[in-house]
Chain A
């Protein structure tokens, strides 16, 4: 077991809406080891992005703890918080809206360096910007280009260079490739992989595309309506999914192979509202195996095999 870089304990984020409390992230706990990647998967609206943003303190948690290198950062304020941002960075989903259209590539990459006063003097900063551009594979002639002149893949490279500018230890990658074409997607995934090896980065990789995390993550956590329903090493999760939702999710991926005729589990039924959800299992309304037991108290996350956690009353039944 390696050194734990990030530990999240019972993280909660509720939003107040006119109709009640929206449970975006509800008692989520996990750990990420140094140099590893945790893939977080789930449908849109399941709270994966909010979870990532809450860890970075881009939104304030309602409850729970975030331990970064053993220290609780969820109460950090002012200067402490600013220092924390040097260690934790984010790559945003949409490379089209996450870059300021009125700043050039060099200004965008230099901004965090200037703000944190990491380097002084124009020359040192310019040299660092060019170095970062080389690292992410952006040609140096684009240093004075503006975002609208770049295509999606290059813009995402600018976003990555900006995240790397402060030499962070931990990066939240929030769907970094979902807005890109497959051929460009592969370029960016390979880049992130190389950077992890060379800089020893730790990633939390948020995505809805299971094929992408399978390629990339060491561990995978599956979220459903704000809760963690299953967590396991990537290989284990793909070979032996236990939660009925994970199974449906895996079977729903279209496979680019004419010989693979896998049986697809099509989910029916309405999605439970995340506003004031009851005690019961939140997946019960769409679940093939739900019975009266599931309408009672919701299942806890239990370790069924070393490293493999699942939250389901019927894991035995679902796998027969």
Chain B
């Protein structure tokens, strides 16, 4: 693992938003290391801080009202935290690039799609307009859209095709890091399958490292090497795909698995996680999940859990693992 290059290095990232005299803690103490060619799945409910973490990596959070604190945010060795605006513009799109959640709104309706891909290439590479257009057309073909359609406008494309155009733009300069924020949530399952398949091919071809933000554990199982589970702004469990899925430790991760309707097992009720995620303006002082957790003790409500090492490939933030015999139900079954 250490032999590969670290392309994204985030240490102790915290993001707060100061609005109307209140402080909303969106992200707290998040550390992520991403190596070349690997994919990290960032999982959690709406409001867990997944997208904010991604935006912070690109230094795209508006300050104020945002306040970013971090020991380090590095993309391919570039310090994103202290870079100037013109330096950032060079890094974004070239070294790190992002696919936004909603393809319908992330394209400009008044330019044809070819021009929108060409724009990114012209900004980052020393090519003439003609050469850049040619490269844009190659990108379009790469994502499975015939080049004849390069002169068409976003409204002439279907949702799946628009998402592929967005992917073509973000991959036009073959970035080292690609952040995909729910790239397929707005798409139908069969189209989703096409897009995921294509992203996998591109990763193998260019060795791009990816962060896949999603709440669909099925997508994670298919396309990620590592998984980070976020809850109320913190990473509460982090490890390899195999460890998280087959050696689950955190009660919240267990709850996520139990909430999923299972295709292979029709019988039995779903076991939802009771309650809601705490408001980011008033996160409790102990473990944020304690109020919804079936295993919580009084101690959990008072003390913030530290990140404990399960093994070399797996960490979990849960107080109960200080007790030598503690086990969640899922690991009892799997063990």
Residues on A lying within 8 angstroms of B by beta carbon are: 43-44, 151-153, 181-187, 189-190, 193, 208-212, 214-216, 234-235, 238, 248-249, 251-258, 260, 264, 266-267, 271
Main SS class of interface, B: helix
What is the bound-complex CA distance between A212 and B263, given in angstroms? 8
Main SS class of interface, A: helix
Question: Which residue of B has the minimal Cβ distance to A259?
Answer: B246
A255 touches B221 (CB 8 A): yes
Additional A-B contact list (13), CB under 8 Å, known A211-B262, A256-B220: A43-B188, A186-B258, A190-B270, A212-B261, A214-B266, A234-B266, A235-B266, A252-B190, A254-B216, A255-B221, A258-B221, A267-B193, A271-B158
Contact A211:B193 (CB < 8 A) given known A257-B245, A258-B246: no
B245 touches A258 (CB 8 A): yes
Residues of A within 8 A of B159 (CB): 44
Q: Could you tell me the distance in whole angstroms from the C-beta of A309 to the nearest C-beta in chain B?
A: 21
Asked if B77 is at the interface of the complex by the 8 Å CB criterion, the answer is no
Contact A208:B189 (CB < 8 A) given known A183-B273, A189-B270, A266-B194: yes
Question: Which residue of B has the minimal Cβ distance to A217?
Answer: B266
Q: Of A183, A208, A271, which one neighbours B256 at CB under 8 angstroms?
A: A183
Asked if B284 is at the interface of the complex by the 8 Å CB criterion, the answer is no
CB contact list, B205-261 vs A, under 8 A: 215-222, 241-242, 245-246, 255-261
What is the bound-complex CA distance between A105 and B192, given in angstroms? 37
Q: Of B222, B266, B272, which one neighbours A254 at CB under 8 angstroms?
A: B222
Contact A238:B263 (CB < 8 A) given known A190-B270, A258-B242: yes
B194 touches A267 (CB 8 A): yes
A211 touches B194 (CB 8 A): no
Q: Could you tell me the distance in whole angstroms from the C-beta of A153 to the nearest C-beta in chain B?
A: 8
Q: Of A181, A189, A212, which one neighbours B45 at CB under 8 angstroms?
A: A181
Chain B contact-residue range equals 35 or more
Asked if B84 is at the interface of the complex by the 8 Å CB criterion, the answer is no
Residues of B within 8 A of A251 (CB): 193
Question: Which residue of A has the minimal Cβ distance to B43?
Answer: A182
Q: Could you tell me the distance in whole angstroms from the C-beta of A115 to the nearest C-beta in chain B?
A: 32
Best-buried of A183, A252, A258 by chain B (most CB within 10 Å): A183
Q: Could you tell me the distance in whole angstroms from the C-beta of A158 to the nearest C-beta in chain B?
A: 15
A249 touches B190 (CB 8 A): yes
What is the bound-complex CA distance between A181 and B193, given in angstroms? 21
Task: Give me 27 A-to-B residue pairs in the complex whose CB atoms sit less than 8 angstroms apart, sorted by A's number.
Answer: A43-B190, A43-B191, A182-B260, A183-B45, A183-B256, A183-B273, A185-B259, A186-B261, A186-B271, A186-B273, A190-B270, A211-B260, A211-B262, A215-B261, A238-B263, A249-B189, A252-B189, A252-B190, A253-B189, A254-B192, A254-B196, A256-B216, A256-B218, A256-B257, A266-B194, A266-B197, A271-B158
CB contact list, B169-197 vs A, under 8 A: 188-194, 196-197
Asked if B1 is at the interface of the complex by the 8 Å CB criterion, the answer is no
What is the bound-complex CA distance between A266 and B262, given in angstroms? 22
Question: Which residue of A has the minimal Cβ distance to B198?
Answer: A266
Question: Which residue of B has the minimal Cβ distance to A254?
Answer: B218
What is the bound-complex CA distance between A248 and B194, given in angstroms? 11
Q: Of B193, B216, B276, which one neighbours A252 at CB under 8 angstroms?
A: B193
